[in-house]
Amino acid sequence: MIDYVSGTLVDKAPESALVDVNGIGYRVHVPTSTYQNLPDTDEEVTLYTYHYLREDDESLYGFATKAERTVFETMTGVSRVGPKLALSALSSMSPTELRDHVMEEDKNRLTQISGVGKKTADRLIVELRDPLADLDVFDDTSPLSGGSDARAEARADALEALTELGMKKADAERAIRRVLREDAGIQSADELTQRALKESQD
């Protein structure tokens, strides 16, 4: 397993990057989001990688963040979803946005991903909802994972309280997200729990 590559960026394109690591050139497939974060050529770069190995395909995929890589790995575990489609999804939206659309069952937004039709959108929602709800590695701009330590702690405590009250974790995550989208400044676990309960009942 190649966990990351770190070296000199020799060449870059919207679909790939060429990284020189001690004289060995690694051609790494990247999503658009990672391409936009690449430095200029001849500068140092580090990419988190996923080594995809099949009988008819051996490729290396690279990502600017661990969140992107984790979502990529999770998506390729879905039936009939390969690296090309997973890369397309990450080129269309951030990991947080993808989780939002899956959790909210937003089929219209998911079908805007190149290669995703209505049936595939349904399959993504069913198979990704629980795995994505369990992930806690999303980008810092997410209202659920970013911001102050107090808000992050409130989110974790509220999620635990809601699941103890019998809510499914995915439903609790969705309710918390909606509350924080309306009021990102909440730092009280009790208030967040009560409002998320109300949100889930509306």
Handedness of CA 29, 43, 142, 4 (dihedral sign): positive
Q: Which residues of the chain does CATH 1.10.150.20 include?
A: 66-134
Whole-number pLDDT of residue 157: 87
Is the pTM above the cut of 0.85?
A: no
Q: Which residues of the chain does CATH 2.40.50.140 include?
A: 4-63
Q: How far apart are CA 170 and CA 176, in angstroms?
A: 10
Choosing among 3.40.190.10, 1.10.150.20, 1.10.3720.10, 2.40.160.40, the CATH entry for 66-134 is 1.10.150.20
Mean pLDDT of 13-27: 95
The yes-or-no verdict on residue 175 having pLDDT over 60 is yes
**If you classify domain 149-201 with CATH, what class do you get?**
mainly alpha
Q: Which CATH superfamily is domain 4-63 in?
A: Nucleic acid-binding proteins (2.40.50.140)
Read off the tokens for 93: 């939206």
Q: Which residues of the chain does CATH 1.10.8 include?
A: 149-201
Whole-number pLDDT of residue 139: 43
Whole-number pLDDT of residue 17: 96
Q: How far apart are CA 160 and CA 163, in angstroms?
A: 5
